[in-house]
Chain A
Amino acid sequence: MWRFAGKRALAALLVLFAISVMVFLIFFATPGADPAARIAGRNASQETLDQVRVSFGLDKPIYVQYFVMMRHLLIDRDLTSFVNRGAKVIPQIQAAVPVTLSLVIGAAVLWMILGVTMGVVATAKRGTAVDPIIMVLGVIGISLPVYWLGEVINLVTQSRLHDSIFAWVPPLGYVPMSDGLGRWALSLFWPWVTLAVLYSGIYARVLRSEMVASMNEDYIRMARAKGISESRVLIRHALRTSLIVIVSLFGLDFGALIGGAALLTEVVFGLQGIGKLTYDSLQNFDLPVILGCVLYAAFFVVLANFIVDLVYAWLDPRVRNV
């Protein structure tokens, strides 16, 4: 198991390196554009350009440029935004990360609990009305667009019913955890729900079809023949084997959301997260910020995949020795 983890960690590092090289090449080696001008910003003076050239080693060979760039980004952390000359890239990302992490982790907990419960109950109640009802609820959850659902929630909780039953809902925006756990959770409650509605629908449906398939497996019949209780058959055998699929799906979704795919939710609820930051920098063609965001996103996707690989191996002994 440790060897497996070591191997996977090494592979993850390699992927990260490869991504950083690729991103770097896209910025610095695409012909027809002067990288110095991209870093120095719009309408920069000749003086600034020269300064950037020296400080980023742009007169040096390309591999040197790569390391200089990485140093600016990761060690000196003095890469500055192209649009807003004063703002450095790394602190911007550092400010956005807790928002996105809070949003996505909270939503993930919610959707895993909801999705797994719905999937298990639907499987257990096959052949009754409960199963199709849960599945239809799932489809409804999947088909509600996040921006629409979010806006409707806002409309109801922030204005229409804000003076009566939803008086407890704080105004839009993120409240850091340091201001109190309760306030933090309240500020994120509706964003969590919004995001979780979509994903719990997907997970419930995937899990149900996986579990129904495994309920037809020989080992389930064997488990019943052993005389263990039906709930144990369902949880310890059917759910346990189906989790393998859910975990790999989760890794993909979680990584993507952390990397910025929660943009719509962030925008609707006024959360200054990574998605929003990336979106704004793309709007302004703010290359240093884009570079930072892409590397950040890559880091989390790779990290999420690494963790999924480990969980996967823990769940499924068959992959451990590969």
Chain B
Amino acid sequence: MSEPLLDVRDLRVSFRTRGGLVTAVDGISFTVGRGEVVGLVGESGSGKSVSMLTVLRLIDNPNCVIEGEVLFKGQNLLELEGEVLRKIRGQEIAMVFQDPMTALTPVYTAGWHISEQIRAHEKVSKKAAMDRAVQLLEAVGIPNAPERVNSYPHEFSGGMRQRVVIAMALSCNPSLLIADEPTTALDVTIQAQILELLRVLQKEFGSSILLITHDMGVVSQMSDRVLVMYGGRLGAAGPRREVMRDPLHPYTWGLMGAIPPTDGSRAARLNAIPGTPISPADADRDRCLFAPRCRFATDACRPQPPLIAHKPDHADACVLPYAERPALRVQAISPLGVRA
């Protein structure tokens, strides 16, 4: 593979609080290749959103400490300031956020939002920017775009609003789109529409997508590679097929077992992961962060295991012997689960 589009190296994000330094992202490294769709999965508190906001330097909390490197086309974004950074935001890397209801400034029309972005990066007339806005709205499937371009956010439904946001994100043809839970706030049938749209546009525009979500299903429908995050660290990383078919990390087993089967069968019980998701403020960082909830945890889980590649490209951070994983997995998802 040639030089990746985005190369995140040992990213650490922590917040100074009254109770001391709280680590939200604890040294993660990953890459996103050109034209690749990477899914980042995790529960609340996993640091998945914080790490993505860091990429575009969108955290304006003065108590935030960021370390590491975020190389985008070879340039370290964490060292950029002012105009240079502004040019990358929106033009090179665009974002789509979770809640389309709040992502647009309520007092401006759809067309205004899109042309604002275009005019921030290109010297074009208002008229030309508006024309492009209409085309973009058509491209994302908004019916009657020439009229709807003058509609205000509250006049769109949730799904349509997310389409406007996507149109805006794509307006400068970015090479990377970061989508933070883009369908979580939407209904299932609308979610399917938006995912389909993202897939089609990705093929058409050739952008890379970094998709952040809590939903394993969404990741499996969308991504080429999957990263699983827990407690600010990467638990597993690999191609989708590998991670979905032969998950290696006990947390991934848990995540997949906790979801009701979607194949029509009905299990009596789900394989819930015991305990609660990690709270970054009181995590024991000298030990595998998942250990408190892991049934296979032993003394070997201290200190934190590093992310090790077992096969080319498929890595995970767990001390369990690689050869025994399949057997352990069967153990993990079986006996408790049967009620019949």
Contact = CB atoms under 8 A, between A and B. Distances in A.
Is A in direct contact with B (CB under 8 Å) within the complex?
yes
Interface of A: 127, 215, 217-219, 221-229, 232, 236-237, 240-241, 244, 315-318
Interface string B86-111: 11111100110111001111110100
B104 A317 contact: no
Contacts of B95: 222, 225
Interface stretch (B28-36, B114-122, B204-212): B114-122
Interface of B is mostly: loop
Contact of B90 (A215, A227, A240, A316): A227
Contact of B107 (A227, A228, A229, A316): A316
Contacts of B103: 218-219, 222
A316 B106 contact: yes
Nearest to A321: B155
B15 interface: no
B152 interface: yes
B117 A226 contact: yes
Contacts of B90: 225-228
Interface residues of B, number: 31
17 contacts: A127-B62, A218-B97, A219-B104, A222-B95, A225-B94, A226-B89, A226-B117, A227-B117, A227-B120, A227-B121, A228-B90, A229-B120, A240-B107, A317-B106, A317-B109, A317-B152, A318-B154
B315 to A, nearest CB: 30
Nearest to B171: A226
B62 A241 contact: no
Nearest to A240: B107
Nearest to A214: B105
Contacts of B97: 218, 221-222
Contacts of B86: 227-229
Nearest to A225: B95
Given A221-B58, A318-B152, A318-B154, A226 B168 contact: yes
Contacts of A215: 60
A224 B89 contact: yes
Given A224-B56, A232-B120, A315-B107, 19 more contacts: A215-B60, A218-B97, A218-B102, A219-B102, A219-B104, A219-B106, A221-B53, A225-B58, A225-B95, A226-B94, A226-B168, A227-B88, A228-B86, A228-B90, A237-B105, A317-B106, A317-B107, A317-B152, A317-B154
A228 B165 contact: no
A193 B91 CA distance: 47
Contact of A218 (B56, B88, B99, B109): B99
A269 to B, nearest CB: 39
Contacts of A226: 89-90, 94, 116-117, 120, 168
A318 B106 contact: yes
Given A218-B97, A218-B99, A227 B105 contact: no
Interface in B262-291: none
B117 A240 contact: no
Given A222-B95, A222-B165, A317-B154, A228 B117 contact: yes
Given A227-B120, A318-B154, A240 B105 contact: yes
Contacts of A221: 53, 58, 97
Query: Which 9 A/B pairs are nearest by Cβ-Cβ distance?
Result: A227-B90, A227-B89, A218-B102, A226-B90, A225-B95, A317-B152, A127-B62, A226-B117, A219-B105
A218 B165 CA distance: 12
Contacts of B165: 222
A284 B121 CA distance: 69
